[in-house]
Amino acid sequence: MKKYLYMFCTVGLLSLTGCVDQLNQMPNQQTTSGNVYISVDNYKAVLAKLYASYVITGQEKDGDADLGSNSGYDYMRCYFNLQESGTDELASTWLEGDKVYDLTYLSWDANDPWVTDMYYRIYYTVALCNEFLRNSTESKIAKFNENEQGTIRQFTAEARFLRALAYYHALDLYGKGPFVSENDPVGAFIPPCYNADQLFSFIESELIETGDKMLSRTECEYGRAPRAAAWSLLAKMYLNAEVYVKKSYYNECIAACKKVIAEGYSLEADYQKLFNAENHLRTNEIILPFVVDAQHTVSWGSTTYIVCGAVSSTSDYMIASDYGVTNGWGMFRIRGEASSKFAEEDKRGNFFTEGQSQYLDKVDDQSNGYYVTKWTNLTDGGEAASNTGADGVNTDYPMFRLADIYLMLAESVVKGGSGSSMTEALSYVNDLRYRAYGSNDGHIVVGQLTPDFILDERCRELYWECTRRTDLIRHGKFTTSNYIWQWKGGVKDGKSVDAKYNIYPIPSSELSANPNMTNENY
C-alpha cells in the first residue's frame, strides 16, 4: 500500500476556495491561521494540500471545488492539454466536447477555457504556498521546540519549491505573470507584472537556495520533493533559457543535472513499470511523483485522464480491462509523425495498432492514430489496481525522472555546454537506448548525437509526459515551417502558424481584473 504525504491533507484544516466572481480569482481564507498552525502535524497537513493542489480539484471528486470559476479540472489535466494537444504527440477526439479545438489547431485566444483554467490553477497553488510561508517565518515558529522548528523549516523549503514550480509553469506557458509573494498584503492588492527575466531570476534564486535546504532522496518520504527535484527544475529552466531570457545557460544546466545524478538515482530496468499503478516503487528513477490514489486523491484529471483517455471507447479490438480500466474514454491517440519515430525494436513504442490507421484523415476519428498504452492502471502482476469507473486510477505522475536528466545533460553538451563531455553524454543516451532495445542494437555513435536526434529521442522517451510543446519551441519547430505534422495549424497537410502561439495569452478575465497585465500579440 502507498504511504505518502497526501494522507495528511485533512478536510477543514485550511479551507481555501476560489471566488465565483470572474474578476476576483484569488482564494479566500475562511479559517484563521491561528486555528491551523498550532502543531507540526497541522503544518504537514497544510503542506500536503500544496502538493495535492497539482492533482485534485478540491476536497471531493465532484464537489467542494477549490476554484468556483474553474471548469472543474485539476492542475495536471490543464497542464497535459496545454503541453500536448497542439503537438505531434496527441490527437484529441472530443474537440468540441472537451473544448480543445483551438488548442489542437494552434488557434486559441485569450478566452480559451483551458488557457484560463491553467492560469488560475497556477496562481491558486501560488496563493496556497504564500499563505503557508506567511505562517512559517522564524517569528511564527518560535513557539515550537528546536526539533519541531527544524522540521517546519524543511516544510518551508518544499513550499518554496512548489511555488517555484508553479511560477516556472507561468514562465514557460505565458512568458510572464503577476507576482505575489508571502511578503505582499492579503486582500485588496493588485500584483505587478513580472516579465520573463524577472520570473527567471526569482525562480533561479529560490531553487538555488531551497535546494540545499530540502531533504536528500534517502531522507525524503514518498510523495515529497527531495532536493534533486529543485535541481531538476533548475536544469529544465536553464535548458530553455534561450527561449525565456535570450541567453544560454548550458553550463549551468549540466551542473544541475550532475548534482541530480550524484544523488544516486538509477534507471528502472522495465520502462513500462514507470507508468503503471505500482510506479510508487520506482523511486530509483522517479525523482518527484505527484501521487494519484483511488482512495485519497481522486479526480477526473491527472493520470486518470491520461490512462482512461488512451483506451478506445469504440474499438472492436481494444479491451479496456487489459489496461486496468473499467471502460475507455476514447479521448486521444498519438499522431503518425510521432509514432513513426520509433523503430520496431524500440520497446518504448507502446501503441495499440489493430484497427487503427497511423496517420490522420480526421483528428477526431477514434480509428485514426495509434492508441498509447504506455500508461496503465495495472499492478506489476497485471491486475487492475482500482475501480476506475468510481475512483480513478492508482498511477502516480512522474514530474521529474532520471531519463530526462540524462537527455538534458546530453543536449546541453551538444549545444556547447561545458562541465561534461560528448563521451559522457553519449553514454547516458545509450543507457536509455539499451533499456529501450534490451541490447546494444539501438546504440548510436558520437556523430549521430545531434540536436535533431536528441529532440526525437526526447519524443521517444518522454512522450505524453508534458515536455513536447516546450521541446519543440526550444528547437524552433513548434510554430514554424521547420517541422510540419498533420493538422498543424488546422489543415490536413499542416502549416506554420503565427509565432505568437509560442506562448499562451493572459486570460481576458485577468486583464479586466489587473491593469498591470497586457497581451502584446493577442
Cα Rg of the chain (Å, integer):
22
pLDDT value for 56? 85
Q: How far apart are CA 290 and CA 283, in angstroms?
A: 12
Question: Looking up cell 535533431, which residue turns up?
Answer: 452
What are the sequence ranges of the domains in the chain? 1-213+476-512, 222-232+241-288+396-462, 292-386
pLDDT value for 394? 94
CA nearest to 402, candidates 275, 264, 234, 223? 264
Please write the tens of the pLDDT for every residue from 300-329.
Answer: 778 999 999 999 999 999 999 999 999 999
Q: For residue 276, which phi and psi values (nearest 5 degrees)?
A: -105, -175
Same fold, 1-213+476-512 and 222-232+241-288+396-462: yes
pLDDT value for 402? 98
Question: Looking up cell 513550499, which residue turns up?
Answer: 159
| DSSP characters over 198-221 | HHHHHHHHHHHHHHTTSPPTTTSP
Which option is the CATH number for 1-213+476-512: 1.10.569.10, 3.40.50.1860, 3.40.50.720, 1.25.40.390? 1.25.40.390
pLDDT value for 32? 61
**Which pTM was predicted?**
0.94
pLDDT value for 434? 98
Q: How far apart are CA 508 and CA 521, in angstroms?
A: 13
Q: For residue 378, which phi and psi values (nearest 5 degrees)?
A: -100, 145
Q: How far apart are CA 455 and CA 408, in angstroms?
A: 10
**Residue spans of the chain under pLDDT 70:** 1-33, 59-65, 68-72
Q: How far apart are CA 369 and CA 108, in angstroms?
A: 23
pLDDT value for 363? 97
Which residues in 263-357 belong to E strands, given as ranges?
286-290, 332-333, 351-352
CB contact at 8 A, 196 and 520: no
pLDDT value for 337? 98
Please write the tens of the pLDDT for every residue from 272-296.
Answer: 999 999 999 999 999 999 999 888 7
| Residues near 505 by beta carbon (within 8 Å), at least 6 away in sequence | 108, 109, 110, 115, 174, 519, 521, 522
Instruction: Quote the cell numbers at residue 381.
Output: 502482476
CB contact at 8 A, 339 and 358: yes
Q: How far apart are CA 161 and CA 300, in angstroms?
A: 26
The superfamily (CATH) of domain 222-232+241-288+396-462 is Tetratricopeptide repeat domain (1.25.40.10)
pLDDT value for 24? 39
